[in-house]
Structure 1
Amino acid sequence: MEKFYKYNNYLLKENKRDSSIYLYIYYLRKFLKWYEENTEKTFSRLEKSAVDMYLESVSSKVSKTSINSYINFFKSYNSFLISEGIQENMVVDNSMRRRTSKKKSDKVNDVDEKYIEAILQNICLSDGIKNYTMLNLIANSGLRALEVKELRLEDLDFDNRVINITGAYERKIPMNSNVENSLKLYLKEIYVMEEYLFINERGTKYTEAGIRWIFRKNCSDTDITIATLRNFYKIKLKNQGYSNKEIDKVLGYKTNGKKYSDRALKDMLTPSQFSKIFNVAPITVIKWCNKGIVKAYRTDKGFRKIPNSEVERLKKLRLKHNS
């Protein structure tokens, strides 16, 4: 467990996106399990021969793009092991990558709607109404995983058919019949209503990683992610005649309105830089951002950026709280 925690912190310091961190930890678990089952020994250091064997074992199940994603993970984990003094040299490099044909395309419009619907239906049939409803809220209401885990019963307004999202991305989201039906079916299965709408097997609310894990175990295609589900909803809104501005409002985007220019975003602080000022871990800053304690914006690539003005504002807030 400690090795996952250390690697997770390493990825945070590298300013990796939340989705990348989750995916790399998922890859690490899969690789270590495969390594122990196929070598009958405990993992100690990364070996090129083992990486080649592992990539060969998964190559028949995933696309070339996914193989390259695995290679990116191995490069990252190799660098981590070097930083920890576990090994000295890089054994993974770009020469191991697979060539893929490059096509100029709109990533949003590349989402195969029928494929996504088939995945969701399969989850509903094989993994239960709760897991289906959580992922359906992302695919058919455009919620973020962090918003799904924070949902409470009072956030659901069935009379006006809207979902009230609070926190950093406060907004009202239309509740279509698909989402309304799945929510009502799920609510019928609940014996005791807890503080949060979705509670895991341990009796606590889900984490973002937990929701992503549910999706990943039901969809082995690593080209399809939680972000793909949000794009699926974006396509539906476009087809219904929503303008780009209206779509941004429904999805809770804050940077697409160009309140800050790309140059201004570039000058802002990363969570890692912000954490050093307050002598806390980067994950703490990310939690502050999710709770709305610290205002953060997203670049086009999805990275969090924090305005410099938030430093003084938070210092004053903490000073006031301590006095």
Structure 2
Amino acid sequence: MNDFYKYNNYLLKQNMKDSSIYLYIYYLRKFLKWYEEVIKIPFKTLEKNIVKKYIKNISSNISESYINNYINFFKSYNNFLISEGIQKEMVIDNSLKVKMSKAKVNKNNYVNEKYIENLLQKICSIDGIKNYTMLNLIAYSGLRAAEVTELTLEDLDFDERVINITGSYTRKVPMNSNVESCLKLYLKEIYTMEDYLFINERGTKYTDTGLRWILRKNCPDDNITITTLRDFYKLKLKEQGYTLKEIDELLGYTTKHKSYLDKSLKEMLTPSEFAKIFNVAPITVIKWCNKGLIKAYRTDKGFRKIPPSEVKKLQAVR
């Protein structure tokens, strides 16, 4: 435990971000546990062949970028051991890194519900109810990472079953049964009266970078990001019948200057365009609409749009 504390202080002196420090300490714990179980001798110093063996052991479950992250960690830990007088020279270098292949861009940032549920359950069992709850709020309430970190107990309204988001994206987000149950469990088992709902090991609120690190350390798939979880929530809203405008409002996007016409509505005729075909005034077309002689639809701003098929129908009766 003392070595972890010393290494943590060493990283702080290197001006590393909190998220990177958490990650390196996590890597160290995993490596030392593996060393104890596989090498079966007390750890003293880093050896290049042992590090190679460890990387080979974990490489089947992690991406290329993860491997290179591990190498960066081992270089850092090597430097720490030298600074402590435990190791005499650098044995870890960039030759251990793998060449990154060009990642294919996944334009459809979608994963199925079963994958998300399994991922969150894994985080719950391995990483605890707090980290599970924070990521659950993103996947099942669509909150931004920064919005999760700013939450307070007063923002939760269990009577109305909503989460009150304040700040730049003020809104009320529905609290479904999944979110409600994990929040209540977290409040019962973990939460202590603090200024913010979620407090890290340092006694301060989490950062959005910290949440990304929690997801990354539990999910080896580089394609799964905080945005993926928000897209998952967006997809679930579509399946439940929410309109695009309603979805944007729940996600905290601006809707002021955005058109929500679907493709079929865009292809329809305005009353003026319809009037020109029959050489009448637009007000006449509006009267036809009111009488039910022609079918018309309304845009989200209340304007009439008439399907092109109504032209042939009206021509047939005139």
CA contact (8 A) 1:55 1:67 kept: yes
Shift in Å, 1:207: 7.4
**Is the Cα contact below 8 Å between 1:4 and 1:25 reproduced in 2?**
yes
Q: Describe the shift of the 1:195–1:67 C-alpha distance in structure 2 as closer, same or farther (beyond 3 A).
A: same
Which residue does the alignment assign to 2:36? Answer: 36
Change (3 A) 1:207 1:25: farther
For 2:100 and 2:132, the matched residues in 1 are separated by 33
- Residue 71 of structure 1 aligns to a residue whose secondary structure is helix
Alignment-mate amino acid for residue 91 of structure 1? V
Q: In structure 1, the residue corresponding to 2:21 is in which secondary structure?
A: helix
Q: Distance in 2 between matches of 1:52 and 1:147?
A: 39
| Correspondence list, 1:226-237, <5 A | 228-230=225-227, 232-233=229-230
Which of 145, 160, 179 in structure 2 is aligned with 1:183?
179
1:94 counterpart letter in structure 2: N
| Correspondence for 1:117 | 116
* Alignment RMSD: 4.5
The answer as to whether partners of 1:64 and 1:98 remain within 8 angstroms in 2 is yes
Q: What is the SS of the residue equivalent to 1:223? A: coil
Partners in 1 of 2:15 and 2:72 — Cα distance?
15
Equivalenced residue count is 234
TM-score normalised per structure 1: 0.55
Unaligned runs of 5+ in 1: 249-323
| Displacement of 1:113 | 3.4
- Residues 259-274 of structure 1 aligned to structure 2 (within 5 Å): none
Deviations 1:67-100 (A, max 9, x none): 1221111111112222222222211111111122
Contact 1:129–1:182 (CA under 8 A) maintained in structure 2:
no
Answer whether contact 1:47 1:91 (CA < 8 A) is retained.
Answer: yes
- What's 2:7 paired with? 7
- For residues 2-48 of structure 1, the C-alpha deviation after alignment (integer angstroms, 9 at most, x for no partner) is 22122222222323233222111111000011112222222121111
Task: Label 1:17 to 1:236 Cα distance change in 2 as closer, same or farther (>3 A).
Answer: farther
- Shift in CA distance, 48/38, structure 1 to aligned 2, threshold 3 Å: same
Q: Deviations over 1:163-217 (max 9, x none)?
A: 345xxx77635414xx4333322356566985269699x9x98975997897578
Alignment check: 8 A CA contact 1:130 1:198 kept = no
Q: Is the 8 A contact 2:155 2:165 kept in 1?
A: yes
Equivalent residue runs for 1:240-259 within 5 Å: 240=244
Structure 2 residue aligned with 1:172: 170
Query: 1:161 Cα shift?
Result: 3.5
Report the structure number with the largest CA radius of gyration: 2
Equivalent position of 2:142 in the other structure = 141
Cα distance, 1:80–1:214 mapped onto 2, change above 3 Å: same
Higher relative contact order (CA 8 A, sep 6+): 1
Q: Which runs of 5+ in 2 are unaligned?
A: 239-243, 255-318
Contact 2:11 2:21 in 1 (8 A): yes
Retained in 2: the 8 A contact 1:123–1:131? no
TM-score of the two chains, using structure 2 as the length reference: 0.56
SS of aligned partner of 1:163? strand
Q: Give the equivalent residue in structure 1 for 2:267.
A: none
> Is the Cα contact below 8 Å between 1:45 and 1:86 reproduced in 2?
yes
**Amino acid corresponding to residue 223 of structure 1 in structure 2:** D
Q: Distance in 2 between the 1:104 and 1:191 partners?
A: 43
> CA contact under 8 A between 1:46 and 1:91: conserved in structure 2?
yes
Superposed displacement of residue 143, structure 1: 4.4
CA distance in 2, matches of 1:98, 1:124: 28
Distance 1:247 1:104, change over 3 A: farther
| Counterpart contact for 1:146–1:208, Cα < 8 Å | no
